[in-house]
């Protein structure tokens, strides 16, 4: 089963059937059923056959314009009875993006903001004015607030499958928190651990760039 189909399958297991738009339910069922029907019959596990049988009946009802609540509840009871799936698409995608983040060369993950932050620390440690360091820190704090506000007001990947939206949200939040922790350490500690501070800022930058790479790849695939 494809990652997209697995993501829709997870969504069908957890979404509120009463509140979910009919079109969303129909699309999710269509993608899962389509993925299973396209697979060679001999490659399907007993669990996947059970899913296909349960959702195929639901799909017929959805296509006729009715909500097949009983059929979808029956599908969910398969999992209540112990049916298991391969690792969900969310976990696989998050692992992939974290591997991308960890492997990016410095010239790619380094941003103007990080370079300015690193230079300000180096200048301060070399005897530069402390006020110059705090000016840079305040500028970065304002930038992080702006990025956070923009993200919270943007429906990132709202029309994509659950795996993508969950992973993007998780990594962006972690990136912002990592940068925030770096600035907090600098401000709160009497003797800051400069290497740790820069490592936190680097981690935040790496995650942000990994998300940007993924979003670019997704846009290219959809164009």
pLDDT 10s digits, 148-179: 877 665 544 444 445 677 788 889 889 999 99
User: HSE on the CB side for 27, CA within 13 Å?
Assistant: 13
For residue 163, give both structure tokens: 């795996």
Task: Among 4-8, 56-60, 191-195, name the one with the lowest average pLDDT.
Answer: 4-8
Please tell me the predicted confidence (pLDDT) of residue 119. Answer: 96
Please tell me the predicted confidence (pLDDT) of residue 96. Answer: 87
For residue 195, give both structure tokens: 């290497």
Count up the domains in the chain and report the number: 2
Of 28, 56, 80, which residue constitutes the final position of a domain?
80
Please tell me the predicted confidence (pLDDT) of residue 139. Answer: 95
Together in a domain, 106 and 189: yes
Q: H-type helices in the chain, by residue range?
A: 3-14, 22-38, 46-63, 69-80, 89-103, 106-109, 112-125, 130-152, 162-188, 194-222
For residue 124, give both structure tokens: 């301060």
Together in a domain, 174 and 113: yes
CA distance 222 to 100: 21
Together in a domain, 12 and 68: yes
Together in a domain, 118 and 195: yes
DSSP classification of residue 56: H
For residue 91, give both structure tokens: 């976990």
For the entire predicted model, the pTM comes to 0.58
Together in a domain, 140 and 179: yes
């Amino acid at each position: 089963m494809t990652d997209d189909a697995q993501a829709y399958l997870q969504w069908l297991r957890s979404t509120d059937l009463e509140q979910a738009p009919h079109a969303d339910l129909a699309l999710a069922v269509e993608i899962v059923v389509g993925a299973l029907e396209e697979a060679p019959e001999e490659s399907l596990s007993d669990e996947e056959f059970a899913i296909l049988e349960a959702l195929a009946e639901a799909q017929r009802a959805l296509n006729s314009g009715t909500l097949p609540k009983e059929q979808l509840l029956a599908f969910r009871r398969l999992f209540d009875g112990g049916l298991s799936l391969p690792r969900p698409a969310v976990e696989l995608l998050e692992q992939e993006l974290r591997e991308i983040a960890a492997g990016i060369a410095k010239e790619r993950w380094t941003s103007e903001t990080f370079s300015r932050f690193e230079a300000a620390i180096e200048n301060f440690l070399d005897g530069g004015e402390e006020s110059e360091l705090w000016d840079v820190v305040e500028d970065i704090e304002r930038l992080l607030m702006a990025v956070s506000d923009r993200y919270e007001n943007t429906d990132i990947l709202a029309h994509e499958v659950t795996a993508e939206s969950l992973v993007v949200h998780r990594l962006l939040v972690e990136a912002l928190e990592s940068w925030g922790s770096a600035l907090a350490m600098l401000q709160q500690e009497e003797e800051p651990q400069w290497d740790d501070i820069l490592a936190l800022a680097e981690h935040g930058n790496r995650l942000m760039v990994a998300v940007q790479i993924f979003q670019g790849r997704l846009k290219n695939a959809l164009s």
